[in-house]
């Protein structure tokens, strides 16, 4: 999409896209403004949907004051300090998954590593037992792709099964609290009231969906960079202190979340364009992060980039809750990878399948050829 984004930034930076019935903004300054100015660009859609959207009441799709109340309930669990306590467990998972991947004759980095890692981490935080994690993975994948599936008969049962499963977990924790996020949320109150079952289900669903494919894409997109530019991987192996730079530059260069929606409740001006009330605006993060006016040589991957103010995790009050977790997973994954893997490249004849949503940027499969020093 990047050449098209560039053309749009130059020629048509605030644009109404007939095919998706939505406004689209492409420039860094505009994208940042739309994502940050919650008073004028709301995260709450005017039409709350048909009940199929489990996230409609979640923090992602609400404005203050409700947004702040919901977010404060889980903020503590996601601070860098709390997340650091998962260090050892995540490191163990990373190395176990690498063992399995390296033993494969036809390894696929997405299937064998980048998908199971975040899935297992968030499922454990919520308290999903390991024997149910395959089911979980199936449901979350289906829900992520369901936005492109016009066949309601296929989608409805999945939402029902998933909602039913979450509900039974919630009921179980009600009688027998444990040391997990669901038990904590059951104790939480807003204005003296406990969360409703729908709120609780929405919370779990949001954490699962927001945290999985995004992190999978970050890891997969980093390996794409290594395959396209082997010198970067070699430099990283020689100098592991560059890992944070690689993560941030991958977040900028191949932003895992391509775009996020906002909504106007009154007429709004962006540049010299007036957007009427009741419209949807897609803020194209993937384009903002390639804007030359913000990032010199925006189209090159620069391991030593200074002042990388990318907005891959958003900006302002909705800034990604899971950023510290995604960063820790990314860091431990890359540390283990450079220690154990000498070279990694996409298999020459591989047919990569892009993820077909307007929201995320990544691939569904990444067959790789690996050389190790083991």
77 within 8 A of 181, measured Cβ to Cβ: yes
Single residue of 202, 220, 256, 362 touching ligand HEM by CB under 6 A: 256
Total of residues contacting ligand HEM (CB under 6 A): 25
Structure tokens at 70: 């919901």
C-beta atoms surrounding 347 within 10 Å: 17
Nearer Cβ to ligand HEM (108/329):
329
127 binds ligand HEM per the rule CB under 6 A: no
Q: Is residue 131 exposed (0-12), middle (13-18) or buried (19+ Cβ within 10 Å)? A: exposed
Least CB distance to ligand HEM at residue 309 (A): 14
13 within 8 A of 287, measured Cβ to Cβ: no
325 binds ligand HEM per the rule CB under 6 A: yes
211 binds ligand HEM per the rule CB under 6 A: yes
What is the CA angle 310-312-316, rounded to 5? Answer: 85
How many angstroms from the chain centroid is the CA of residue 140? 13
Nearer Cβ to ligand HEM (72/160):
72
185 binds ligand HEM per the rule CB under 6 A: no
Between β-strands 193-194 and 341-346, what pairing exists: parallel, antiparallel or unpaired? unpaired
361 binds ligand HEM per the rule CB under 6 A: no
Least CB distance to ligand HEM at residue 24 (A): 15
CA distance 366 to 362: 10
Nearer Cβ to ligand HEM (13/220):
220
116 binds ligand HEM per the rule CB under 6 A: no
* Interface segment toward ligand HEM; rule CB under 6 A; list 46-54, 100-108, 252-260, 338-346: 252-260
Which parts of 241-322 fold into alpha helices (H)? 243-253, 285-288
Nearer Cβ to ligand HEM (72/104):
72
143 binds ligand HEM per the rule CB under 6 A: no
Phi, psi for residue 360 in degrees, rounded to 5:
-115, 160
214 binds ligand HEM per the rule CB under 6 A: yes
Q: Give which of 281, 309, 277, 314 is closest to 295, Cα–Cα.
A: 309
Between β-strands 341-346 and 273-275, what pairing exists: parallel, antiparallel or unpaired? unpaired
CA distances from 33 to 260, 283, 357 (A): 13, 9, 23
312 binds ligand HEM per the rule CB under 6 A: yes
What is the residue whose two structure tokens read 């004849």? Answer: 349
169 binds ligand HEM per the rule CB under 6 A: no
Q: Give which of 298, 279, 301 is closest to 288, Cα–Cα.
A: 298
Nearer Cβ to ligand HEM (146/214):
214
Q: Is residue 175 exposed (0-12), middle (13-18) or buried (19+ Cβ within 10 Å)? A: exposed
Site for ligand HEM in 149-168 (CB under 6 A): none
Nearer Cβ to ligand HEM (73/232):
73
Single residue of 73, 260, 284, 366 touching ligand HEM by CB under 6 A: 260
Single residue of 314, 362, 368, 370 touching ligand HEM by CB under 6 A: 314
Single residue of 14, 30, 34, 43 touching ligand HEM by CB under 6 A: 43
Single residue of 218, 236, 270, 298 touching ligand HEM by CB under 6 A: 218
60 binds ligand HEM per the rule CB under 6 A: yes
Q: What is the SS3 assignment for 337?
A: helix
Q: Answer whether the bond into residue 347 is a cis peptide, omega within 30°.
A: no
Least CB distance to ligand HEM at residue 52 (A): 19
Structure tokens at 278: 């009741």
362 binds ligand HEM per the rule CB under 6 A: no
Structure tokens at 368: 């790789």
* Interface segment toward ligand HEM; rule CB under 6 A; list 132-140, 141-149, 186-194, 208-216: 208-216
Q: Which residues bind ligand HEM (CB under 6 A)?
A: 35, 43, 59-60, 71, 122, 206-207, 210-211, 214-215, 218, 256-257, 260, 312-314, 318, 320-322, 325-326
């Amino acid at each position: 999409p990047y050449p098209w984004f560039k053309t749009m930034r130059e020629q048509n930076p605030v644009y109404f896209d007939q095919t998706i019935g939505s406004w689209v903004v492409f420039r860094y300054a505009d994208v940042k403004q739309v994502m940050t100015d919650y008073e004028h660009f709301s995260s709450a859609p005017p039409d709350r949907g048909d009940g199929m959207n489990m996230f409609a009441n979640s923090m992602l799709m609400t404005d203050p004051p409700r947004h702040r109340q919901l977010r404060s309930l889980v903020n503590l669990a996601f601070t860098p300090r709390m997340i650091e306590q998962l260090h050892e467990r995540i490191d163990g998972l990373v190395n176990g998954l690498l063992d399995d991947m390296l033993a494969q004759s036809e390894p696929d980095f997405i299937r064998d590593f980048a998908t199971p890692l975040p899935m297992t981490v968030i499922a454990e935080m919520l308290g999903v037992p390991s024997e149910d994690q395959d089911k979980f993975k199936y449901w979350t994948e289906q829900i992520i792709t369901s936005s492109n599936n016009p066949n309601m008969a296929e989608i409805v049962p999945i939402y029902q099964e998933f909602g039913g499963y979450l509900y039974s977990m919630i009921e179980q924790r009600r009688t027998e609290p444990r040391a997990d996020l669901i038990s904590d949320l059951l104790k939480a109150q807003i204005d003296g009231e406990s969360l409703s079952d729908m709120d609780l289900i929405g919370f779990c669903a949001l954490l699962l969906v927001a945290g999985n494919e995004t992190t999978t894409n970050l890891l997969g997109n980093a390996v794409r960079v290594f395959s396209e530019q082997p010198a970067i991987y070699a430099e990283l192996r020689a100098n592991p202190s560059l890992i944070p730079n690689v993560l941030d530059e991958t977040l900028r260069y191949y932003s895992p979340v391509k775009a996020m929606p906002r909504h106007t409740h009154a007429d709004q001006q962006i540049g010299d364009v007036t957007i009427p009330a009741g419209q949807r605006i897609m803020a194209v993060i993937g384009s903002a992060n390639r804007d030359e006016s913000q990032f010199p040589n925006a189209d090159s991957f620069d391991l030593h980039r200074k002042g990388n103010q990318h907005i891959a995790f958003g900006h302002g009050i909705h800034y990604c809750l899971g950023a510290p977790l995604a960063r820790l997973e990314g860091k431990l994954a890359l540390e283990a990878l450079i220690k154990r893997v000498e070279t990694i490249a996409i298999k020459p004849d591989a047919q990569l399948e892009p993820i077909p949503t307007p929201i995320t940027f990544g691939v569904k499969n990444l067959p790789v050829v690996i050389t190790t020093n083991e």
